[in-house]
Structure 1
Amino acid sequence: MPISETWLLPDGVADVLPEQAQVIENLRRDALDFLASRGYQLVYTPFIEYIESLSSLSESNHDLDLATFKVIDQLSGRLLGVRADMTPQVARIDAHVHPVEGVARYCYAGTVLHTKPQGFNTTRAPLQLGAELFGSDSIDADVEMVDVMLGLIEKAGLVDGIHLDLGHVGLFRSLVKRAGLNKNTERELSDLYQRKALPELAEFTQDLSFGADFYALGRYASDLEALQTHLSAEILADTAFKHALDELKTTQSAIQARWPNLLIGVDVVELRSYHYHTGLMYAVYAPNRAASLAQGGRYDGIGEHFGRARPATGFSCDLYALSAGQFNAISVVVAPKGMNADLQQAIASVRAQGLSVIQLLGNDDLNSIPNATHQLVDVAGEWQVKPI
């Protein structure tokens, strides 16, 4: 490779320069402190594991399996996976490494790696931050998780104009079960819902058992009152369907009471990651951003792969995306050479105020510090910070 190309990075991978890196790091610290204040304990997970450990979600989520880089371990000869999501790792911790009885709350922050970008103009190496709650199947746990997610978005200073989307896979799943649909038909329906293809949906559902209900689910996906008006009495009386609908309504009411100015929308056929989510799903969007700021949902039984199936709910976000467009002007104070006590005390005092101080070395002068914004100067025997 020519020397002129050795500095290039792979597509979807980028350096983070000081002005944005400082914003991201401040956000990471604030977010983890916020999660700690809510009782979520920090865990670190390895960047690479045996693929069997990372497959607890991959088995039910083909997209995650495709996103996972796989390599051969030169020590054991076994197949390793580079984490594409940290949820399976936290589930392993909950099941075997730190098996808490009762409710366990964890949070994490670290880089994950994707074989391909997971959305338009997204990185292949997101800095993923999230929280997981294990051991409670109560809707209160989902409400708490949504509230925590919104609190985190507020910490990032992105509350104005945000929009919360709520969904519940239980509505579609219970209807599929009631109608006795096969996997292929279920998959085609899911695709039609995701594409919001109402004309195709109307034609496809004509000859289906409970076809009118499947069409109503797509046609009135964002209006629960209209949806209930157009569903059959048999479906509305179905225990599983009714339970999912009640959970969706309860969550919407509880979050609206906690966040009265928040725009909350409902989409009962938002079926992203449908195959491993088991209940409520939620995502936060901001104006002029196509991708969600954060998203999550319930995935009960995730630890079954590790021998300990537990109810679980959680969310995650990409700190790079969350901080997109934000930059921090870094003040750098240059101090003169010297080891005399008053100068060193002045440098320590300026650093204690949160400013960065660089002391000149050898034959350096101000030109040696191109990012300098201020200098420490002796004014009538008193050290003062002056703009350059």
Structure 2
Amino acid sequence: MRNWLLPEYIEDVLPAEAARVEQLRRSLLDLFKVHGYQYVIPPMMEYMESLTTGIGHDLDIATFKVVDQLTGKLMGIRADMTPQTARIDAHMLNNQGVTRLCYAGSVLRTAPDGLARSREPLHVGAELYGHAGVESDIEIQRLMIKALHAVGLSTLYIDVSHVGIFASLLEHAGVAEEQEQELYAALQSKDQSAVRELGKNLNQETLAALSSLTELNGDVSVLEEAAKCLPKIEAIQQALRDLKSVGTGLADLDVKVCFDLAELRGYHYHSGIVFAAYAQGYAGPLARGGRYDEVGAIFGRARPATGFSLDLRGVVSSLPAAEVAAAIFAPAVADVSLSLVVEHLRSQGQVVIQELPGQESYRAELGCDRILVQQNGEWVVVAAPAL
């Protein structure tokens, strides 16, 4: 019956989980606010050119498409909010310095995605525009870690890479686009034998470097090893220095930082450092992000950009069950003094549920652990008797 009522991988969020999601959404937006990130609410639908141009094929196939009945143009329901914030920065705000934006809203995807395996994740994220240095990458990653701590996750693992290393190797060797795609897929699966087979026509230095990427993963010592075995191309050496700076910049936080130079997630979208956060007990990344300096170009202004997002519903679904907030029961009595007490309690943030006439048999469903009773002519809160 559930499958008949709702489409596949589309779910209702029931009261207990919805309350927890909303509480965490507010706390995350408050966290972003005190760090200088301004809240924006992009539209649910846009023309396809705005949503997917310059973003890559993966996002295009993840986007539901509809025809606008007013114009006849093809529109998309957002599958990711990052391109929308890039449009707002480049076209709407038009700031010349650094812009910090944050968002929280549902997206719709054609296939299930994220920790909750849902087609309607709730994306919460932050984006920083207008600064190209590694310092902004570090700021964004620190904010991501604080956000995950605020959600209630303690021991975190941050996996960091840099897509510029792979891109520089291929550019230096003059690799054709088709071969690039094949090498990219082989590296993503860390298939060293496939990398060697696919790159057998390349010069030995490039082939050896590509092959070594499959093994260059671990703690910060991996970066020293990479500096020795990878070609002395300045872009690669700078990427390694930036990665080392990230390790230093996160050292004071309660996280374990790992480096994986074969991790190229979002290679056709990202342009620099990429990262993902993991925790024990979760089957996939809790949050992910990276640098995407060229996305704003489609809106007429290419700006340095870096950011992250997380699926809040997915994170919450893997947390221990939250306790249901207890409430105070108020009987169905027409009494002005009772009404005044009820309003006073509610003004203090207490949940007070007023009974309706004829509902006495269903009091247990209300989940109240306290009750208002009249004692010596005054209404007072006492522990609720067992029902």
Aligned CA distance change for structure 1 residues 356 and 71 (closer, same or farther; 3 Å): same
The equivalent residue for 2:215 is 219
The equivalent residue for 1:152 is 147
Determine if the alignment matches structure 1 residue 230 to structure 2 residue 225.
no
| TM, length-normalised to structure 2 | 0.92
Determine if the alignment matches structure 1 residue 194 to structure 2 residue 191.
no
Partner Cα distance (1:104, 1:52) in 2: 23
- Aligned pairs for 1:45-60 (under 5 A) are 45-56=42-53, 59-60=54-55
1:282 is paired with a residue whose SS is: strand
Partner Cα distance (1:131, 1:282) in 2: 14
Determine if the alignment matches structure 1 residue 24 to structure 2 residue 21.
yes
2:47–2:75 CA contact under 8 A, matched in 1: yes
2:217–2:259 CA contact under 8 A, matched in 1: yes
TM-superposition CA deviations, 1:320-363 (whole Å, max 9, x none): 01212342313232211234332122212332343321212233
The equivalent residue for 1:173 is 167
State the 1:369 CA deviation. 6.2
Aligned CA distance change for structure 1 residues 107 and 5 (closer, same or farther; 3 Å): closer
Partner Cα distance (2:49, 2:364) in 1: 50
State the 1:385 CA deviation. 3.4
Partner Cα distance (2:384, 2:266) in 1: 53
1:23–1:328 CA contact under 8 A, matched in 2: no
Aligned CA distance change for structure 1 residues 285 and 120 (closer, same or farther; 3 Å): closer
Aligned Cα root-mean-square deviation (Å): 1.8
Determine if the alignment matches structure 1 residue 379 to structure 2 residue 383.
no
- Partner residue of 1:184 out of 160, 178, 186: 178
Q: Which moved more, 1:339-348 or 1:98-107?
A: 339-348
Aligned CA distance change for structure 1 residues 5 and 295 (closer, same or farther; 3 Å): closer
Counting aligned pairs with the same residue, the percent is 41
- Aligned pairs for 1:1-388 (under 5 A) are 8-56=5-53, 59-119=54-114, 122-159=117-154, 161-209=155-203, 210-222=206-218, 223-231=222-230, 235-236=231-232, 238-256=233-251, 258-259=252-253, 261-324=254-317, 325=319, 326-365=321-360, 367=362, 370-374=365-369, 375-382=371-378, 383-388=380-385
Partner Cα distance (1:158, 1:372) in 2: 28
Aligned CA distance change for structure 1 residues 151 and 380 (closer, same or farther; 3 Å): same
TM-superposition CA deviations, 1:360-383 (whole Å, max 9, x none): 223332525623323222233342
- Number of matched residues? 376
Aligned CA distance change for structure 1 residues 99 and 188 (closer, same or farther; 3 Å): same
2:87–2:296 CA contact under 8 A, matched in 1: yes
Partner Cα distance (1:343, 1:379) in 2: 12
1:22–1:328 CA contact under 8 A, matched in 2: no
2:271–2:292 CA contact under 8 A, matched in 1: yes
Partner Cα distance (1:298, 1:70) in 2: 27
TM-superposition CA deviations, 1:248-295 (whole Å, max 9, x none): 111111111x31x42110011111111010001111101121211111
Report the residue type matching 2:81 in the other structure.
M
State the 1:306 CA deviation. 0.8
State the 1:137 CA deviation. 0.6
TM-superposition CA deviations, 1:55-110 (whole Å, max 9, x none): 23xx3411100000000111111111000001111111111211112110000000
Report the residue type matching 2:189 in the other structure.
R
State the 1:314 CA deviation. 0.5
2:292–2:306 CA contact under 8 A, matched in 1: yes
1:20–1:328 CA contact under 8 A, matched in 2: no
Partner Cα distance (1:224, 1:95) in 2: 35
**Unmatched 5+ stretches in structure 2:** none
Partner Cα distance (1:6, 1:13) in 2: 9
Partner Cα distance (1:7, 1:371) in 2: 29
Report the residue type matching 1:189 in the other structure.
L
Q: Which moved more, 1:287-296 or 1:370-379?
A: 370-379
1:134–1:311 CA contact under 8 A, matched in 2: yes
1:323 is paired with a residue whose SS is: helix
State the 1:120 CA deviation. 6.8
2:128–2:306 CA contact under 8 A, matched in 1: yes
1:45 is paired with a residue whose SS is: coil
State the 1:6 CA deviation. 8.6
1:297–1:313 CA contact under 8 A, matched in 2: yes
| TM, length-normalised to structure 1 | 0.92
TM-superposition CA deviations, 1:210-261 (whole Å, max 9, x none): 2111111222244223333333xxx12x1111111111111111111x31x4
Report the residue type matching 2:98 in the other structure.
V
Partner Cα distance (2:10, 2:327) in 1: 29
1:344 is paired with a residue whose SS is: helix
